[in-house]
């Protein structure tokens, strides 16, 4: 499931009907000034002179846009990127500059793209770029609207996947599934579309259906450890602990360096009462996931090994890096620290966590699940999410 829409999506979109090749050739202006750090008025003046002397090329506009961007002259950067696209929409870097500017100047970028969409109602790329910048800004439903407009102008099936991601991130899983199935119909060999379907079905609470689809993924891609991990993760929530252990073991065999599979298999052994095997798996997690700046799950392993202080210390390092409040809520719940668990759960929800089906079944939250605070909080955010859809 894509949570960002940048280089890959626009490349696929514009190349579907490209009549020219985006070769990103650089003019002599770049060779002359490539080592000059902005601000560099000489550079922009040279570009202006080139534009006066000859027919401007999209590459020239892109290069000047690059310099404007580095100088934080965002309106000028977007204007030049737009000029490049109006000459040749397959100039990828022009689109990337627009997306990068939107991170810092969203409203201005949106308005300029909107103006282009109004000027050129028969060119789908402007609606597509509007969809991308909206998605990156977490305006998922407006993004879906723009992608639909892009499709109505130029019927490119790749857009179905973009719309799917928008509805998924907005929590509208029925619509996400609808467009995912359209995407699969258009490209039935694309395994990533099936993986997305697994995520959607899982969020809808259709766990058995998700297991069926991920099993298809295993048949299509039998050497990919993630498929076995995902099926094991789903099986554990159906109560098929032995099946989950089998799948986690298959994932470990294919990728013995992934600590996550050892952690989850250890949890399954623990649920079965096989503490010795569980301990061995948790120790392996600590061994594999030992670099503090890169750790992902060793904090949970330390907790299960009885080393609470190490678990908390490592979790705090992870929070500094990733702000993964949901995992912090889970860990504090496992530790029996109700107040901290509820605080971090609220932070995760305020930060956009929307997997309510997972929250309802996650065993890590069992220690706080029956508290009035938990019930009120989850109900409050779930209703709020539905109102914003």
Contact 99, 136 (CB under 8 A): yes
**C-alpha distances out from residue 184 to 124, 161, 196, 231, Å:** 22, 9, 10, 20
CB atoms within 10 A of CB 369: 16
Q: What is the DSSP string of 96-152?
A: HHHHHHHHH-HHHHHHHHHHHHHH-TT-HHHHHHHHHHHHHTT-HHHHHHHHHHHHH
Distance of CA 171 to the CA centre of its chain: 14
From first to last of the 389 residues of the chain, give the pLDDT tens digit. 655 665 567 767 766 655 444 334 333 333 334 344 544 556 666 566 656 656 788 999 999 999 999 999 999 999 999 999 999 999 999 999 999 999 999 999 999 999 999 999 999 999 999 999 999 999 999 999 999 999 999 999 999 999 999 999 988 999 999 999 999 999 999 999 999 999 999 999 999 999 999 999 999 999 999 999 999 999 999 999 999 999 999 999 999 999 999 999 999 999 999 999 999 999 999 999 988 777 889 999 999 999 999 999 999 998 988 888 999 999 999 999 999 999 999 999 999 888 898 998 999 999 999 999 999 999 999 888 765 55
> Using CA atoms, how far apart are residues 79 and 127, in angstroms rounded to an integer?
17
Closest among 144, 224, 169, 167 to 192, alpha carbons compared = 224
């Amino acid at each position: 499931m894509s949570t960002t829409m940048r280089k890959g999506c626009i490349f696929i979109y514009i190349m579907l009907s490209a009549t020219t090749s985006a070769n990103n050739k650089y003019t002599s202006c770049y060779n002359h000034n490539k080592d000059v750090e902005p601000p560099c008025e000489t550079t922009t003046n040279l570009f202006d002179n080139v534009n006066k002397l000859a027919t401007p090329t999209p590459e020239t506009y892109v290069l000047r846009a690059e310099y404007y961007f580095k100088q934080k002259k965002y309106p000028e950067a977007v204007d030049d990127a737009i000029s490049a696209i109006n000459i040749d929409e397959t100039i990828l870097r022009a689109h990337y500059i627009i997306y990068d500017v939107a991170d810092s100047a969203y409203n201005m970028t949106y308005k300029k793209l909107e103006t282009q969409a109004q000027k050129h109602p028969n060119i789908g790329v402007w609606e597509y770029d509007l969809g991308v910048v909206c998605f990156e800004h977490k305006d998922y439903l407006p993004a879906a609207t723009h992608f639909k407009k892009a499709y109505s102008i130029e019927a490119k099936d790749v857009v179905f996947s973009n719309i799917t991601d928008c509805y998924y991130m907005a929590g509208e899983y029925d619509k996400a599934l609808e467009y995912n199935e359209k995407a699969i119909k258009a490209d039935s060999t694309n395994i990533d579309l099936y993986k997305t379907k697994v995520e959607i079905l899982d969020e809808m609470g259709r766990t058995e259906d998700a297991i069926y689809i991920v099993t298809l993924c295993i048949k299509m891609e039998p050497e990919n450890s993630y498929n076995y991990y995902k099926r094991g993760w789903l099986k554990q929530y159906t109560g098929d602990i032995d099946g989950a252990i089998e799948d986690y073991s298959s994932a470990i065999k294919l990728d013995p360096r992934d600590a996550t599979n050892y952690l989850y298999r250890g949890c399954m052994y623990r649920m079965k009462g096989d503490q010795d095997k569980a301990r061995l798996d948790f120790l392996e997690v600590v061994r594999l996931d030992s670099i503090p700046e890169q750790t992902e799950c060793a904090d949970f392993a330390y907790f299960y090994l009885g080393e609470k202080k190490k678990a908390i210390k490592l979790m705090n390092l992870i929070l500094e890096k990733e702000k993964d409040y949901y995992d912090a809520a889970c860990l504090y719940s496992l530790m029996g620290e109700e107040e901290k668990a509820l605080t971090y759960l609220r932070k995760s929800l305020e930060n956009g966590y929307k997997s309510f089906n997972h929250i309802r079944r996650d065993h890590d939250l069992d220690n706080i699940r029956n508290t009035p605070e938990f019930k009120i909080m989850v109900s409050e955010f779930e209703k709020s999410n539905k109102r914003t859809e």
